[in-house]
Amino acid sequence: MIITLTANPSLDRTVGLPGALVRGAVQRASASEEESGGKGVNVARALTVSGVKAVAVLPGADADPVMGGLRKTGVEYVNLPIEAPLRSNITLTEPDGTTTKVNAPGPPLNPVEQEALIALLVGACAVKDGSGSPAWVVLAGSLPPGVPPDFYAVTASAVRDRLGPEAPRIALDSSGPPLTGALLHGAGPDLVKPNAEELAEATGFSSEAALEEDPLLAVRAAHMLLGRGVGAVLATLGAKGALLVTAEGSWLASRPPVQARSTVGAGDSALAGYLLAEVAGLSPSDCLRQAVAHGAAAASLPGTRLPALADTDPAAVTVTALNGPGGPAASGTSTASPSKEER
């Protein structure tokens, strides 16, 4: 079982355009759909559709459309009722896969509501099912107004303090102040899933373009996070694929390009793919392989659809094991060769 926390959930409306977006013009949509969203919610949706038990923890009234969407899709959830309606986000997709997102800020959460949401998460993490205690808790997405940037660090501490040795491992997927705030205040996540921009931002090392161009530079940046108490880094690098860096080794995964129809939820699907492979006991390289397969499958689907395991093609993903426990970039060079390829 995997628990996800989405502090700033949303109703995600995706509008498909028949041609390129034209600013200032009136255009008719070719398709329109809506789903319950927010990064943690998306991870829970992707896990549920793949047959892995997931429980989404989030704020929002019982009658909020976000809860209705979760009930409709069969995603289990535990919600903290609040008076304000949850936000709505709008995504515009063009035929070539170009995606434009407009995200609303969301309703504020006051300190009492923040404490209640953390308590709700801790309670969900304490619940055991037939397979035992939850294996992972995912802290994901932006924070609503009024929530301090160290919220995820406070949340991680609460889970570990309450549950001790039975606490689930913690995965963190956020950006900006929530990401840096969590890392600076000792969240110590077992897994962080940044993209190249977020990896550069969190470490202050290099740039998004450079990290995407040279994965070995990205290994160096990832090791900076390991030095801050992070257990593993799953970094998506655009066209270069994705990178997994742990204290034991580094792996790079890539696959042939897919025809992108929408990038909505692709990163969340990659995290879900990694986690479902990890709870199944697969090796680090195969967890990375499934992450890339899930992300690619999500990009090839229209609108807000998220892939099931059956929609993915992990055999199309090539995984390259990099030299040494720290990878070739750990020594300060970015010119070493990969050591092994596997399909």
Catalytic residues: 268
Q: Looking at the chain, how many residues does it have? A: 343
Q: Cα separations (Å) of 97 from 90, 225, 255?
A: 15, 32, 18
DSSP H helical segments within 236-310, as ranges? 266-279, 284-300
Determine how many CB atoms are found less than 10 A away from the CB of residue 343.
9
Residue 329 in contact with residue 253, Cβ under 8 Å? no
Q: Which of 266, 215, 225 is nearest to 246 (CA)?
A: 225
Alpha carbon distance 44, 176 (integer Å): 22
Report angle CA 173, 330, 152 to the nearest 5 degrees: 20
Structure tokens at 114: 């923040």
DSSP-derived letter for residue 127 is -
Alpha carbon distance 250, 263 (integer Å): 26
Phi, psi of 124 (to 5 degrees): -65, -35
Alpha carbon distance 127, 49 (integer Å): 21
Structure tokens at 247: 């204290």
H/E stretch holding 73 reads helix 65-73
Structure tokens at 38: 């927010």
